[in-house]
Amino acid sequence: MIFDGHVHQLPDIDPTETREWLDSLDAVVDTEGKTRARYLLSRLMERATASQVSFPATVSTPYVNTIPREQEPWFPGDEHIERRIRAYIRWNAAMMVVRANKAADGIGGHLSTFASSASLYEIGFNHFFRGKDDGTPGDHVYYQGHAAPGIYARAFLEGRLGEDDLDHFRREIGRPGRGLSSYPHPRLMPDFWEFPTVSMGLGPISALYHARFNRYLQNRHIDDTSGSRVWAFLGDGETDEPETLGAISLASREQLDNLVFVVNCNLQRLDGPVRGNGKVIQELEATFRGAGWNVIKVIWGSKWDDLLAQDKDGVLLNQMNTTVDGEFQRYAIENGGYIRDNFFGPDERLRKMVADLSDDELRSLPRGGHDYRKLYAAYKAATENLGSGRPTVILCKTVKGWTLGPGFEGRNSTHQIKKMTKDQILAMRDRLHLEDVVPDSLDADHPPYIRLAKDSVEFQYMMERRKALDGSIPKRTTVARRPLDLPGDGPFAEMRSGSNGQEVSTTMAFTRLLRGLARDEHIGPRVVPIIPDEARTFGMDALFRELNIYASQGQKYEPVDHDLLLSYSESTKGQILEEGITEAGSMASFIAAGTAYSTRGVPMVPFYTFYSMFGFQRVGDLIWQAADMRTRGFLMAATAGRTTLLGEGLQHQDGHSLVLASTVPFVQAYDPAFAYEVGAIVQAGMVRMYGGGPPELTDVFYYITLYNENYEMPPMPDTPGLAEAIVEGLYKFADAPAGPSIPATILFSGTAHTAAREAVAELAEHYDVAAELWSATSYKALREEALAAERWNRLHPSQEPRVPRVAQILADSQGPITAVSDFMKIVPEQVQRFVDDRTFVPLGTDGMGRSDTREALRRHFEIDTGHEVHAVLDGLLADGKVDESVVEDAIARYDIDPEAIDPYLA
Ligand SMILES: Cc1ncc(C[n+]2csc(CCOP(=O)(O)OP(=O)(O)O)c2C)c(N)n1
Ligand SMILES: [Mg+2]
């Protein structure tokens, strides 16, 4: 249906009838007003929908609850007991933060986020969230990071945490595995938290792709995920992050009715209102509805229902619709008189409506997000939405800091307040009606936690509810429900055999390996190739036909290239996650797949292959999150290198992702030169991550560069221990040529081996230098081992010092060391300090890239053969093995311009 002005292009088959309808509308507007006209139109649209007259849905609805009072379901719980439990949890959460900041000033923590969302969680805990104690994976719940105190407080009340645990909130050091982390961090609390959420936006996008990955597992018959719903709790301020909303259309496209977003619309973020001059709930409604979501607004508490029922002429609705969030925030902190004068006051009809209500009653007209029954109705509707194909978002209007008292509620500064005075503590106690359990005489520096006796009604109730829902959560487990066998050696043997004279790239070799693994009888189905619209760039399009692209709807069309061998083949059982142009989404898929060993007990092996420049630099925070979440898998950084990727220029040529990789613990970063190195690293990675072992070893992921330069892949020499040496990070690739007399050592990584090998020949021919060649596959690994040795030595001064492996390995080499790669000099410099008895000359691609040929780029960045010869001689000059004239000779021989501008500045 076309509207918005285009309707005139549609044929009018009965102009008289059209005229009558339009005249009727005009008459209503003239006599009854616009509100009535709007009402009638809404009713017509409702009727049209009921009669299957397709009409585009409007993107926004009036500022009222989506579920009217008369459609609210029966609330099956005991509201009184649940309110009591909620009050205890609210109390303990707040006291935990207060005590933490008393014990350690400035330690932080948040009071007001959870205070606004306590009911949002409690309704879930008591009635909806499924646990894992029945042996199923249960629901996957992403808690809002800043609400962590409330989640701890519930775990305490359930007896899962003790008082000493709460007193170690944000005091993790010295109690390994037992401190309470500031926010949800599986890395720090691996038995408790499952999903890191505190970097705004990453929780929602991860949850969304997680829901999609569950469907992928289901459609591919790998795991029955139908019993698991993904719940993601997020802040309204958080929705400004591109990651939060950027992928929501995927959820509706993929019909993820297993996904529920709950947005805590307290109208505030850290500094102030989210939309002071507008209405964030309306804005979000429009965005989500436009994207095809099922939107449930929970704006008003039950007491408003009576007022709305009296609103015959729509004045209240109009006032609700036109009041901006900045004003609503103000109403949250003002007294009843102010509300009467300003919200209800201007219109006589409105004022009359509340004439019977006292100021106190006016003040306590609650928002929907604090109304348990309204929330229950919304959550129930969301769960019953399964089968509709539409994901659900529940927009809950709350007050930031609710129940904390006047100093907190709705204040712009509330997000940051961490302390309470005794008066404030007592006021909160009274507000929560906890006078019977918390005495007046409390010590404000050490306010008591409320603990429940095991035989108390509340405890029994709470535990019974959790039992009915399969146990307490959050809980992270790693029990393999469907274990994974390691792959056979076949695919790796192929990597070891070399390319037999053919010139190929490491990317092509990897594609072969991936295909081999996907065909492997043991792990084949568990391999998850993930690609963000770059398969053709990497020559991986060959896999489309063979493995098929996952498409929940199958392929409803015959692809344009159907008659080609490499046609674009989509299927419900497709294995490849072709994500389109979203590195953030692809990373979220990588995380979902790489944590399935824990979230579902089904180990999966993701290989996310991407444009190396758009990895760490673009989605570094998601990579950090992956490390937090103990993700396992392989990040394959294709088109790596600042000169190997020719032509593409400054925005594409990656010469620094390995520097960024060095900043993330648990990332195993490699820069292999040959297919057999790629094979050895992946094979070892499979064993390490999926072969069993302690979590500190297994919970890692790999970052492996892949290049697009073709050359012959040598077969793997059968030197004993070579595979281990490749994994360790450095091995001797070739002895120095026999004949020349001056020894030198060249370390190369990746594609830099070509120039390094040529340099060896040139040095031998012209300068009597015998250079041996070493392949440095991982400076990060070498550095980390060396740092550990250095630390051990520092802490054990009386014991035999350990020698870093890199120093041990290079002890077998001779002469000055020149280290070259297609990355910045700082990459090999990672080990320089540990071989400081040797002259060390790093060569690399510092500076921004540019478009040109490989030859020109390598000359520009001073890593080509001539520069390498020159650098080796310079090292020998420093060692006193040659004199200046020799270096000058090389400058002249290789046409090096000493006055050329430094590529770092060019
Ligand atoms: C990426 C990122 N940027 C900034 C922050 C700092 N920060 C923490 S909470 C917060 C405000 C959150 O507001 P909202 O999402 O509305 O949550 P609320 O506490 O109001 O429920 C900010 C800016 C962060 N955690 N992550
Ligand atoms: Mg907020």
| pLDDT tens readout for residues 341-367 | 999 988 899 999 999 999 999 988 899
Of the pLDDT bands very low, low, confident and very high (cuts 50, 70, 90), residue 748 is: very high
Contact predicate 887/874, CB 8 Å: yes
146 CA distance to ligand 1 middle (Å): 8
Instruction: Give the separation between CA 327 and CA 496, rounded to whole angstroms.
Output: 69
Tokens 């029945």 belong to which residue? 134
pLDDT of residue 312: 87
**Taking the CA atoms of the chain, what radius of gyration do you get in angstroms?**
32
Q: What percent of the chain has pLDDT over 70?
A: 99
In a 13 Å sphere around the CA of 549, the CA atoms on its Cβ side amount to: 20
In the structure, which protein residues have their CB atom closer than 6 angstroms to any atom of ligand 1? 113, 116, 146, 198-200, 235-238, 264, 266, 268-270, 274, 400, 415
The DSSP secondary-structure symbol of 640 reads -
Amino acid 258 reads N
Instruction: Kindly state the average pLDDT of the residues 47-56.
Output: 84
pLDDT of residue 566: 83
The encoded tokens of residue 29 equal: 């507007």
Residue 61: CB atoms within 10 A of its CB come to 16
Instruction: Kindly state the average pLDDT of the residues 492-498.
Output: 97
91 CA distance to ligand 2 middle (Å): 20
pLDDT of residue 2: 45
Backbone angles phi, psi at 393, to 5 degrees: -120, 130
pLDDT of 1 over the 50 cut: no
pLDDT of 897 over the 60 cut: yes
382 CA distance to ligand 2 middle (Å): 22
235 CA distance to ligand 2 middle (Å): 5
Contact predicate 605/520, CB 8 Å: no
Ligand nearest to the Cα of 270, by number: 1
pLDDT of 50 over the 90 cut: no
Instruction: Give the separation between CA 367 and CA 64, rounded to whole angstroms.
Output: 11
pLDDT of residue 176: 65
Instruction: Kindly state the average pLDDT of the residues 703-711.
Output: 98
Contact predicate 656/824, CB 8 Å: yes
pLDDT of 857 over the 60 cut: yes
In a 13 Å sphere around the CA of 240, the CA atoms on its Cβ side amount to: 11
144 CA distance to ligand 1 middle (Å): 10
| Residue whose CA is at the smallest distance from ligand 1 atom 7 | 270
DSSP string, 511-567: HHHHHHHHH-TTTGGGEEEEESS-TTTTT-THHHHHH-EE-TT---S--TTTTSTT-
Of the pLDDT bands very low, low, confident and very high (cuts 50, 70, 90), residue 5 is: low
pLDDT of 3 over the 80 cut: no
Query: Which ligand 1 atom sits closest to the C-alpha of 116?
Result: 21
| Residue whose CA is at the smallest distance from ligand 1 atom 20 | 269
| Residue whose CA is at the smallest distance from ligand 1 atom 17 | 235
267 CA distance to ligand 1 middle (Å): 12
pLDDT of 340 over the 90 cut: yes
Estimate to the nearest angstrom the gap between the alpha carbon of 49 and the chain centroid: 38
How do residues 214-270 score in pLDDT, each as one tens digit? 999 999 999 999 999 999 999 999 999 999 999 999 999 999 999 999 999 999 999
| Range with the poorest average pLDDT among 200-209, 353-362, 594-603, 742-751 | 353-362
Tell whether omega for the bond before 190 is within 30 degrees of 0, i.e. cis. no
| Residue whose CA is at the smallest distance from ligand 1 atom 12 | 269
Of the pLDDT bands very low, low, confident and very high (cuts 50, 70, 90), residue 623 is: very high
| Residue whose CA is at the smallest distance from ligand 1 atom 25 | 199
Instruction: Kindly state the average pLDDT of the residues 493-511.
Output: 97
Specify the 3-state DSSP secondary structure of 730: strand
| Residue whose CA is at the smallest distance from ligand 1 atom 22 | 270
54, 280, 290, 293 from 57: Cα distances, Å: 9, 20, 8, 11
Query: Which ligand 1 atom sits closest to the C-alpha of 198?
Result: 25
267 CA distance to ligand 2 middle (Å): 5
Query: Which ligand 1 atom sits closest to the C-alpha of 234?
Result: 15
Instruction: Give the separation between CA 437 and CA 15, rounded to whole angstroms.
Output: 74
739 CA distance to ligand 1 middle (Å): 66
Amino acid 842 reads P
Instruction: Give the separation between CA 109 and CA 643, rounded to whole angstroms.
Output: 47
Q: How far apart are the first and last CA of the chain?
A: 56
pLDDT of 8 over the 90 cut: no
How do residues 631-683 score in pLDDT, each as one tens digit? 999 999 999 999 999 999 999 999 999 999 999 999 999 999 999 999 999 99
**By C-alpha distance, which of 431, 306, 276, 297 is closest to 368?**
297
Contact predicate 184/149, CB 8 Å: no
Name the residue of 112, 200, 261, 417 whose CB sits within 8 Å of the most ligand 1 atoms, as the mutation to test its pocket.
200
pLDDT of 58 over the 90 cut: no
Tokens 């170690």 belong to which residue? 168
91, 169, 715 from 429: Cα distances, Å: 8, 22, 74
Length of the chain: 906
Of the pLDDT bands very low, low, confident and very high (cuts 50, 70, 90), residue 38 is: confident
Backbone angles phi, psi at 265, to 5 degrees: -90, 80
Instruction: Give the separation between CA 163 and CA 153, rounded to whole angstroms.
Output: 10
pLDDT of 525 over the 50 cut: yes
Amino acid 439 reads P
pLDDT of 597 over the 70 cut: yes
Instruction: Give the separation between CA 45 and CA 57, rounded to whole angstroms.
Output: 9
Name the residue of 183, 233, 238 whose CB sits within 8 Å of the most ligand 1 atoms, as the mutation to test its pocket.
238
How do residues 807-848 score in pLDDT, each as one tens digit? 999 999 999 999 999 999 999 999 999 999 999 999 999 999
How do residues 383-407 score in pLDDT, each as one tens digit? 999 999 999 999 999 999 999 999 9
Contact predicate 524/607, CB 8 Å: no
Specify the 3-state DSSP secondary structure of 354: coil
How do residues 425-450 score in pLDDT, each as one tens digit? 999 999 999 999 999 999 999 999 99
| Positions of E strands within 735-859 | 742-748, 769-776, 817-820, 840-843
Q: What percent of the chain has pLDDT over 90?
A: 92
Name the residue of 117, 146, 370 whose CB sits within 8 Å of the most ligand 1 atoms, as the mutation to test its pocket.
146
Counts of helices then strands in the chain (DSSP H, E): 36, 20
